[in-house]
Chain A
Amino acid sequence: MTEGYLSSGRVVSLVITFVVLTMITPYYCPVVAQTETPTLDPAPLLKLLQDVLSMIIENHYDSALSLCTKSLNISLPSDISYLHTRLYVRLLKLTKLLRSADSLVKEASAGSPKVREVVYELCSIKTELNDVINEYMGRLSKYFKDPATRYVMMEYGKELVNELIVKLDTIINQLVRVYLQGNLSTTKRLLHIEISVPKKILGDSNFSVVLTVKSLINVRKANVSLVAVFANTIVKDLTFTLPVNETAEVTMKAPPAEVLVGSGVKLNEELPVKIAVVAKAVMDNETIIDYVSETLILTYSKPPCTFIIPNIVYPNQSINVSVISRANVTLNLTIYMDKLEDEYILLKSVVKPGENTFTIEPKNLTVGLHKLIFVIEPKGPYQGFTYSAVFALVKLPLTAVVNIQKVLLAPPFSSPLYVYIDTPVPYKLVVYVGDAKVLERTYINKSRIVLNLPIPFTLLMWRYNVKVEVQALDPMYGVIIRSLTIYVVNLPLLIAASIVLGFAMISPVSSRYITFSLKSLILSLRRSLISSEVRAIVKTVESSAVMFRRPKLLKLYRKFLRIISRYVGLPSKSETLREFYRRLSLRVGMKLRQLVSKFLSMYEVDLYSKHEVDVDKAEEVIRRLEEVGSE
């Protein structure tokens, strides 16, 4: 009854569990669609950028503004989102600037501060935008899976960027012209300006603009405005009155490098300088005007500095570096160790014309190669410059001479060890004999020492490797290791052993023992040979006896042969037992002969008849044979 109840209870429990699980499971295992999150597809983003650039180039500023606003609302991965926003904020600003530039070109008057402001902003955003677009496109290009698509999209994008830059240059030129001479549409061109400028000028240096205003009509003087725009960024202007047909030489100065860099201009290339001259004169209450412009190239040279640093530096040693400057201005210098990051700055100083020596004290440098990086900031006629030089941080080698005698005749088991340290620094001496450390001592100021080196006890003779390690306690020095070999001879024991062995070899007792041992050895060899032959014969007998019946005395016969074979050998294959007996009887004594005859008779009976043989008697005969054989 109880068993039945338990069985039923289990069934009920199982059913309940099944039901509850099946009813609850659907709530915890909802059917969910597989979602996949793809990586960014860069092509539509590039297409969007291309569209914005095209619209700006084609003067569709409203559409460009709309697209820029739309672009700023796109959700993008974090690694590109910031760059994307940065780009479109600038494009938005550029579009607005261009829209106002359009109206300024048509309506603004000469010298309008608004024009000047827009020119400045356009120049600034042009430089900035060029960098941002290139960085943005470079980042997008990494997302392309298909190289062909990448190439096509990127190339078209680059073309548009170039077109945009050309357009911006044109607009900037137009604005500069407007700033200089106002709207030209209503003036007459009766003046003629001739200017002469150098083709190439150096930064922070003076250059001359030679100009002449000529006129075909009767005009005495002209108001001349001369404007120089350096790298589309820095504007310098000059206004003066010049008699017509006279030549004037105006000296101007190119901005120093730090000023241009401060305005966001990169100095590692040739920079354009636009020289524009406007001449105005009044004749019969009417303004006559002429405008001419020339473009020069502005360059900034590398600072003429030579850096001298040591090739090898020792730990905790200050590094003396020299900077020989042939520049005519004082330059700002920052020295970094290994990396161009603020935390790696070693020194900030100035480099004056001539030789400058700096002492650097690097800390926590590891042994190995290191790099000193010299960064000179742009200044005057010089662009920025970075120079790096590698040096090695090494430890000084120790000079040590170690000597030990080659052969030690012991006892005593110790040998003098001669150590000479050439460098007078504290050091630790560690000596190993074999693998065992036998000595460790520290010396503060001792260059010559003689140590009594303990050698392990040696029974007769042995060879030991002696390793001497000299560790300098000054981090400037390295470690030196010398290996030596010493042969140790335990002379008394060796002599004693030789004597004992010699006596042992020549003593009569020993020689007799040796003779006896050799005889025993030969006898045992012979017995073992005979024994193997006996086993072979018995095996033959056994195999032939199978045809009749197994003899009862077979084991005893085998024993018999083993005993008797030492006298006459074994019976040959063709020899009968009687023939064997005859051969035997000629060589052995009477007592043995009788016993052999007795055993062979019993064995014949056992072999060839059906009579019962007395095994005990046969055993007795064999036992007696053994006794006789051993006598």
Chain B
Amino acid sequence: MSKALTTVVIIAVLTSLLAVIVDLPSPTPYSPFNNGSLGYSELVEISNAQVISTINDVESLDRGGTVLILPLVKELSNETYSIFKELVSEGLTIIVLDEKGYSNSLLKHLGINAYVSNQTVLDEISKLNDRFHPIIKVLIQGGNSSYIDVVMYKPSYIVVSNKVLGGVVGTTSSYAYADTDGNGYYSIGEVMKSYIVIHSWNVGRGKVVLISDLDLWSNDLIVKEGNAKLLKYIVGSERTFMLTLGLEIGLIDGIKFVFMKFRLSRYYGSGLLPLIGFLILMAVLMVVRYAERGQRKV
């Protein structure tokens, strides 16, 4: 193989790998780079959020007029909680998405007497298609209280010791039940009642909105019922960030994040452009190669 051809092949492979990495959808659940049904790419798009990944990014945020979306699929360190506490007391709004109780320590740090119970809530009466998708009535308290209906997927529920007036409270219908034995059906001993699945508290000058479901704003559900409307209501016109520290981010997400950080690519959109660019490059190189062959024959 000639040197020129070797160069062509190397460039082709590198270009294609780069294009594939930029273009490949992330399979990580709740990743902002995942444009599948479990991803948060729509959430980032609709809320116009900037993705951040480290606690240093968080520390550098403006305190007032800023919303931080924090999905949790794992525990964070106490140091992180302390930073959150400081930021919230100075005016930051945190939206915590957690269905396994990873936020319970954070709530304790923030002085909120509530916790997320790691039990799935199902509802056969008020639902979208099936009981795994309960419809939640979210009460927007304020001057003129109003309701937004949203749909969740197998949410947990929030146990609140003292109800606080004001803010946002989302509850299931009174026929929902916590599936304690996990068999997907109501069993004797399980309690049918209205469960709280969204609750907000004012903490210092800031605010904490706790949502006991990670799927509320997933790409699959964000377009359904009033899910996007609720997001827009909570975020408003404030600057929004999404912190991926509480997610199990994979290698592809990491690379995409680096590209995005250095503005090498966008984390969403069509992959057609890199493909066309690559094909043009290949065509040019092939023409050069044929020209070389023609000269040698002469």
Provide the bound-state CA to CA distance between A152 and B271, in Å. Answer: 58
User: Which residues of chain B from 112 to 130 have any CB-CB distance to chain A below 8 Å in the complex?
Assistant: 122-125, 127, 129-130
Asked if residues B36 and A33 are in contact (CB atoms below 8 Å), the reply is yes
Interface size on B, residues (CB 8 A): 49
- For the A-B complex, the count of residue pairs with Cβ-Cβ distances under 8 Å equals 118
Q: Is B1 an interface residue (CB 8 A)?
A: yes
Chain B positions within 8 Å of A32 at CB level: 36-37
Asked if residues A44 and B12 are in contact (CB atoms below 8 Å), the reply is no
Asked if residues B275 and A23 are in contact (CB atoms below 8 Å), the reply is yes
Closest to A70 in B: B125
User: Which residues of chain A from 9 to 24 have any CB-CB distance to chain B below 8 Å in the complex?
Assistant: 11-12, 15-16, 18-20, 22-24
Provide the bound-state CA to CA distance between A19 and B281, in Å. Answer: 13
Asked if residues B2 and A8 are in contact (CB atoms below 8 Å), the reply is yes
Provide the bound-state CA to CA distance between A71 and B282, in Å. Answer: 63
A149 and B131 in contact (CB under 8 A), knowing A12-B8, A27-B271, A31-B34? no
Chain A positions within 8 Å of B24 at CB level: 26
B259 to chain A, nearest CB (A): 16
Asked if residues A30 and B9 are in contact (CB atoms below 8 Å), the reply is no
Chain B positions within 8 Å of A327 at CB level: none
B269-289: contact bitstring with A at CB < 8 Å (1 yes, 0 no)? 001001100100010001000
A468-503: contact bitstring with B at CB < 8 Å (1 yes, 0 no)? 000000000000000000000000000000000000
Closest to A43 in B: B186
Asked if residues B9 and A26 are in contact (CB atoms below 8 Å), the reply is no
Chain B positions within 8 Å of A31 at CB level: 25-27, 34-39
Chain B positions within 8 Å of A45 at CB level: 124-125
Chain A positions within 8 Å of B35 at CB level: 30-31
Q: Is A587 an interface residue (CB 8 A)?
A: no
Q: Is A5 an interface residue (CB 8 A)?
A: yes
Chain B binder among A34-42, A212-220, A383-391: A34-42
A543 to chain B, nearest CB (A): 76
Provide the bound-state CA to CA distance between A32 and B15, in Å. Answer: 27
Q: Is A75 an interface residue (CB 8 A)?
A: yes
Q: Is A145 an interface residue (CB 8 A)?
A: yes
- Chain A: number of interface residues, binned into ranges: 35 or more
Chain B positions within 8 Å of A30 at CB level: 25, 35-36
Chain A binder among B44-52, B163-171, B177-185, B260-268: B177-185
Asked if residues B127 and A75 are in contact (CB atoms below 8 Å), the reply is yes
A64 to chain B, nearest CB (A): 14
Asked if residues B271 and A41 are in contact (CB atoms below 8 Å), the reply is no
A11 and B271 in contact (CB under 8 A), knowing A38-B132, A48-B125? no
Q: Is A117 an interface residue (CB 8 A)?
A: no
Q: Is A590 an interface residue (CB 8 A)?
A: no
Chain A positions within 8 Å of B282 at CB level: 16, 19
A255 to chain B, nearest CB (A): 43
Closest to A74 in B: B125
Q: Is B23 an interface residue (CB 8 A)?
A: yes
Q: Is A7 an interface residue (CB 8 A)?
A: yes
Asked if residues B25 and A22 are in contact (CB atoms below 8 Å), the reply is no
Q: Is A148 an interface residue (CB 8 A)?
A: yes
A149 and B130 in contact (CB under 8 A), knowing A41-B122, A44-B125, A48-B175? no
User: Which residues of chain A from 26 to 83 have any CB-CB distance to chain B below 8 Å in the complex?
Assistant: 26-27, 30-33, 36-38, 40-41, 43-45, 47-48, 70-71, 74-75
Chain A positions within 8 Å of B220 at CB level: 33
Closest to B274 in A: A23
Most chain-B Cβ atoms within 10 A of its Cβ — which of A32, A37, A38?
A38
Closest 8 pairs between A and B when the two form their complex, measured CB to CB:
A31-B36, A43-B186, A19-B16, A44-B124, A33-B37, A44-B175, A33-B38, A31-B27
26 pairs, CB–CB < 8 Å, chain A vs chain B: A16-B282, A23-B19, A23-B23, A23-B275, A26-B271, A30-B35, A31-B25, A33-B36, A33-B38, A38-B130, A38-B131, A38-B132, A38-B184, A41-B122, A41-B186, A43-B185, A44-B123, A44-B125, A44-B131, A44-B177, A45-B125, A75-B127, A145-B185, A146-B187, A146-B188, A149-B185
Binding site for A on B (CB under 8 A): 1-2, 5, 8-9, 12-13, 15-16, 19-20, 23-27, 34-39, 122-125, 127, 129-132, 175, 177, 183-188, 192, 218, 220, 271, 274-275, 278, 282, 286, 293
